[in-house]
Structure formats: C-alpha cells, structure tokens
C-alpha cells in the first residue's frame, strides 16, 4: 500500500516540483533512470501504465524505492479505470495520475487517502476535478495551450494547484515561464529522459531544480 497520504503528496509537489514521467519495459533500465533523477533532487516520480509489462516493472520499482529511497513518492500514471487504480495502489503507488477525469478513480483514491492527479484542460474540467477531490490538476497537453493559459485559469481559480505536462521543454528558461505563470509543478517525459547517461541526467535534473528554486521568493 501507499506510504504517503494525499496531504503529504500535496506538500511535496511544490518542494521538488520537477516530476519525471517515464515508462520502460525493462526494470534494470528503469531503476537507473529513477536513481539518476533522485540523485538530481527528484522526490516525486511517475511511472506510466503504457506497456504490457508496466505493472510488473512498477512493482519491482516500488520495492526498490521502498528499500533504497524511502522519501521518494512513486506514482502510477496513465490510469483510466478504478480497477487499474486499485491494482497499482495495492502494489504501492503513492499517487495516481490520469489523462482524463474519472469519478470512480477519484473515489478509489479518496478511499485510500491517496493523491489523485486527473488530466484536464477547460475551466469546467478543472472545476470538476477539484469538486471530485483532485490533489493537483494536471493540465494536459500543456504545450498546446502555453503558459499564458495557466495565468488565465488562475483568475477564477486562484488556489488550484496545477501540474503542467505534455511537451514541456526541459530548459531553465522554458520552466521559468511555466512557474511564473502559476504552475505548481511540471511533469516531463521523453524530452528530459532521453539520455542513457545517468551522470548527465543527474546533472540536468539538478540544474533544472536549481533554476526553479531560484524563482521562489
């Protein structure tokens, strides 16, 4: 079962606001990527349910995290159904990320006191997600709407925490735009994780997190 509550996930997201979004069919490779990200300062990591071996690799990763990186929150992404949510939560998922909004998945997460991060874009979708108990609302695909859209959403919904995901450029300048617009955290996938050099990935992640922290008052 999850090691972290919904409240703990909400608290962690703005503290280490870069969340890698990753899938690989081989657990040893996934472990190397996770370890490199952790060394760079990552404390929330999303492993996506996007392949036939996703659950098996996630289960192995969760055991690895629990043994060696107990302060890292490992979440399951690309979850569509309540059954999938229950399966990954039973395997130890610390948060659940969806590309859509599903009331039944929201209810599963609420029952387990687990952070639920549904995908949304329109104002109505964002509001619906908050009404169903979203810990953070995932704006996806963020690159399609741009940082200015986050600023617009902040008008009527000033207190909603946003995770922006999808097409985010992993550069200090690009991330600065998103955080200045009001993003709480960013999720970045292949654009960040394309390197198979762990040392280079660690250095890149650390540089991005330093840049984000420099924007904070």
Q: Is residue 62 a part of any domain in this protein?
A: yes
Q: Is residue 74 a part of any domain in this protein?
A: yes
Please report the pLDDT score of residue 194 as a whole number.
85
Give the confidence band of 115 by pLDDT, cuts at 50, 70, 90: very high
Please report the pLDDT score of residue 217 as a whole number.
67
Q: Is residue 54 a part of any domain in this protein?
A: yes
Q: What is the pLDDT of residues 46-70, one digit of tens each?
A: 999 999 999 999 999 999 999 999 9
Question: What φ, ψ does residue 21 adopt, rounded to 5°?
Answer: -120, 115
Number of domains in the chain: 1
Q: What is the CATH number of the domain that holds 130?
A: 3.20.20.70
Mean pLDDT of the chain: 96
Q: Average pLDDT in the 4-14 region? A: 97
Q: Is residue 1 a part of any domain in this protein?
A: no
The sign of the torsion formed by the CA atoms of 47, 174, 170, 18 equals: negative
Laid out side by side, the sheet with 162-165 consists of: 115-117, 95-97, 73-77, 44-48, 18-22, 185-188, 162-165, 137-139, 119-120
Give the confidence band of 2 by pLDDT, cuts at 50, 70, 90: confident
Q: What is the pLDDT of residues 191-208, one digit of tens each?
A: 999 888 999 999 999 999
Q: Is residue 156 a part of any domain in this protein?
A: yes
Q: What is the pLDDT of residues 141-195, one digit of tens each?
A: 999 999 999 999 999 999 999 999 999 999 999 999 999 999 999 999 999 998 8
Q: Is residue 189 a part of any domain in this protein?
A: yes
Please report the pLDDT score of residue 95 as a whole number.
98
Q: Average pLDDT in the 92-106 region? A: 98
Q: Is residue 146 a part of any domain in this protein?
A: yes
Give residue 90's domain range. Answer: 6-214
Active site residues per annotation: 46, 138
Query: DSSP string of the chain?
Result: --SS-HHHHHHHTTTS-EEEEE--S-HHHHHHHHHHHHHTT--EEEEE--STTHHHHHHHHHHHHHHH-TT-EEEEES--SHHHHHHHHHTT-SEEE-SS--HHHHHHHHHTT-EEE-EE-SHHHHHHHHHTT-SSEEETTHHHH-HHHHHHHHTT-TT--EEEESS---SHHHHHHHHHHT-SEEEE-HHHH----HHHHHHHHHHHHHHHHHT--
Please report the pLDDT score of residue 195 as a whole number.
82
């Amino acid at each position: 079962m999850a090691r972290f509550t919904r409240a703990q996930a909400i608290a962690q997201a703005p503290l280490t606001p870069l969340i890698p979004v990753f899938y690989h069919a081989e657990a040893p490779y996934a472990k190397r990527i996770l370890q490199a990200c952790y060394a760079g300062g990552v404390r929330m990591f999303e492993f996506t349910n996007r392949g036939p071996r996703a659950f098996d690799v996630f289960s192995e990763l969760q055991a690895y995290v629990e043994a060696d990186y107990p302060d890292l929150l490992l979440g399951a992404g690309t979850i569509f159904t309540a059954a999938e949510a229950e399966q990954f939560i039973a395997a130890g998922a610390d948060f659940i990320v969806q590309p859509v909004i599903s009331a039944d998945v929201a209810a599963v997460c609420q029952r387990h006191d687990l952070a639920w991060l549904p995908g949304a874009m329109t104002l109505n979708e964002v509001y619906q997600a908050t009404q169903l108990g979203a810990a953070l609302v995932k704006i996806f695909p963020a690159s399609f709407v741009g940082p200015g859209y986050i600023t617009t959403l902040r008008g009527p919904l000033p207190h909603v925490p946003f995770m922006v995901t999808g097409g985010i450029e992993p550069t200090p300048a690009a991330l600065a735009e998103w955080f200045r617009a009001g993003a709480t955290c960013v999720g970045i996938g292949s654009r960040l994780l394309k390197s198979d050099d762990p040392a280079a990935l660690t250095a890149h992640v650390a540089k991005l997190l330093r840049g984000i922290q420099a924007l904070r008052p």
